[in-house]
Amino acid sequence: MLKLGLTGGIGAGKSEVSRLLASYGAVLIDSDKIAREVVEPGTPGLAAVVAEFGPEVLGADGRLDRPKLGSIVFADPQRLAALNAIVHPLVRERSAELEQAAGEGAIVVHDVPLLTENGLAPLFDLVLVVDAAPETQCDRLVRHRGMTEAEARSRMAAQATREQRLALADLVIDNDGPLEALEPQVRKVWEQLKERAAGA
């Protein structure tokens, strides 16, 4: 089994890269998706978040009000650390279960937005960084996710710097250009991963 850590700043295009890798045959373990699952209604994770942040982080339907929680934690590093202390161990546990289910010869791609911030690089055989200039990231967040420029820059500032991410990279995909420039790069990385897995 080859374990790849995939990361990139918000708006860099990491989810498109993970989608392509999965379409080629990688087993995708998406940390963001798991982070949502572990705080679904009725889970111990959600109970712990409510105990820490109070019932006002719940919507009328009993689900986590993500924008509300986001406005609390992104403005305060200590509150963010408190949230991470609840969610991260649950995500790690679930990721390990999914990885074990993938089987021997699998290429397992762990899509981990905060890989750099949380010092997770040593958990993987290789780290792939999807890189884009901060201006590109900001533009995408404003155009595609409807954020204001201030919101986009605040989200970006809460993450590792571009330099910190690139310092951990074994492989880099440059996603500053259009979508059609991305696929050939991802395909090339996939071929390298297959060779590496076969050699392992």
**Encoding tokens for residue 57?**
């982080």
| CA end-to-end span of the chain | 8
Nearest of 42, 74, 54, 61 to residue 157 by alpha carbon:
74
Q: What is the pLDDT of residue 191?
A: 97
Coil vs helix vs strand at 107: strand
Q: What is the pLDDT of residue 200?
A: 66
Q: Are 115 and 9 in contact (CB under 8 A)?
A: no
Q: Comparing 44 with 200, which gets the higher pLDDT?
A: 44
Res. 118: pLDDT tops 80: yes
| Residue ranges, CATH 3.40.50.300, the chain | 1-26+106-200, 33-104
The CATH code of domain 1-26+106-200 reads: 3.40.50.300
Q: What is the pLDDT of residue 74?
A: 83
Q: pLDDT > 70: what percent of the chain?
A: 100
Query: What's phi and psi for 190, nearest 5 deg?
Result: -60, -40
> What band does 101 get if pLDDT is binned at 50, 70 and 90?
very high
CATH architecture of 33-104: 3-Layer(aba) Sandwich (3.40)
Average pLDDT over residues 49-75: 94
List 126's β-bridge partners, or say none.
4
Average pLDDT over residues 98-118: 93
DSSP secondary structure code for residue 64 in this structure: B
Element (H, E) at 128: strand 126-131
pLDDT digits (tens, 9 = 90+) for 155-188: 899 899 999 999 999 999 999 988 899 999 999 9
Q: Are 68 and 75 in contact (CB under 8 A)?
A: no
DSSP secondary structure code for residue 135 in this structure: H
CA–CA dist 12, 9 (Å, integer): 5
CA–CA dist 179, 144 (Å, integer): 14
Q: What is the pLDDT of residue 12?
A: 95
What pTM was estimated for this model as a whole? 0.84
Residue whose token pair is 């937005």: 113
**Encoding tokens for residue 163?**
């330099």
